Structure 1
């Protein structure tokens, strides 16, 4: 049995969840873990002097629980509720390979996670497009006036800059303004190459 752990990170509203779900439908033995499932309750999230809830930082998440969930899946992916389905021929002869896609906005700035990835993808968006998409979404709690400019976007830039400055981490940056079909085709083909490498190692 072999496992492939794929990181799908990047900017808010960059299309991570949609891309992850589409990949899951195309890849064999594939499961998704979403970082959003590990947010602390609102009462445990810090508030800054402007009254902004600081959700876009690592301290707003139960990161240790997230790492533990990934490790548990890696130990026993076959018992994670996966059902092998018919997939495209390019993934043939890979019945003993299991794929985990981890999607979230802060995947590559937490050291315990960086030892786990086989591939890292990072979706980007320009400021105006990201703000436009964010304005169409409903969050709980709702974004307060000025929240995007005062917290969300600055934290995205901060963590993205940290990532770019870390020469030891290889990341494939993806343009989130491209069509979902184009992004899906690229990432799917790239993962299939990784799968074929695993097959050759058998």
Structure 2
């Protein structure tokens, strides 16, 4: 059995989740682990102390300390030990494809804004992709989304963007593409890796998918 772990990182509202879902739809025997589902506030919604507050009064969500990374790495390890059993446990057995059953190729797509900043997780990725968008686009997207709790006034410029810049500097071994190229790149890499996905560049976002699929294909063959 062959396994491949993809890391899709990048800034808030940069398209990580969208790319991960697109890949999952096109890669047989794949599943997604999303970092956003491991915020401590998700596990302890009534405990405000799980998320620290800075001197400006902003909640520090954009830090590893705000996340249950031990739980996340545990789930990744469960997948590594037995991808098929993990998918069955997550109710994904119906999504498993028979096209790669004889090859035993399973792909884990890990997406999140700090996945490359956590050492024990960072070393597990076979391929890494980092998505970036301009400041003004990021701010506009952030303001158009509904968060619980909602962002307080000045939160983006006072916390979100500065933390993104700081976290980005800490990341190592990153591969950055414009969004269109990244989607095509991702798809192409995995396509060649598994030899079961058709490459399509008819849509602008396909560039990223194609590139990743291509790289995944090469990794599986090694």
Please give the secondary structure, in 1, of the residue aligned with 2:125. coil
Q: Mind listing any 5+ residue stretches in structure 2 that lack a counterpart?
A: 184-202
Q: CA deviation at 1:24?
A: 0.4
Q: CA deviation at 1:196?
A: 4.2
When normalised by structure 2's length, the TM-score is 0.79
Q: Does 1:174 align with 2:163?
A: no
From 117, 132, 137, the equivalent of 1:129 is 137
What is the root-mean-square deviation of aligned Cα atoms in Å? 2.2
Q: Determine the structure 2 residue equivalent to 1:150.
A: 158
From 86, 97, 111, the equivalent of 1:103 is 111
Q: CA deviation at 1:191?
A: 2.6
When normalised by structure 1's length, the TM-score is 0.86
Shift in alpha-carbon separation, 1:101–1:194, aligned structure 2, 3 A: same
Shift in alpha-carbon separation, 1:172–1:179, aligned structure 2, 3 A: closer
Structure 2 distance, partners of 1:147, 1:94, is 50
Q: Specify which structure has the higher proportion of helix.
A: 2
Q: Mind listing any 5+ residue stretches in structure 1 that lack a counterpart?
A: none
Please give the secondary structure, in 2, of the residue aligned with 1:64. helix
From 27, 48, 58, the equivalent of 2:64 is 58
How many pairs does the alignment contain? Answer: 191
Q: Deviations over 1:5-46 (max 9, x none)?
A: 000110100111111111101001010000001001162100
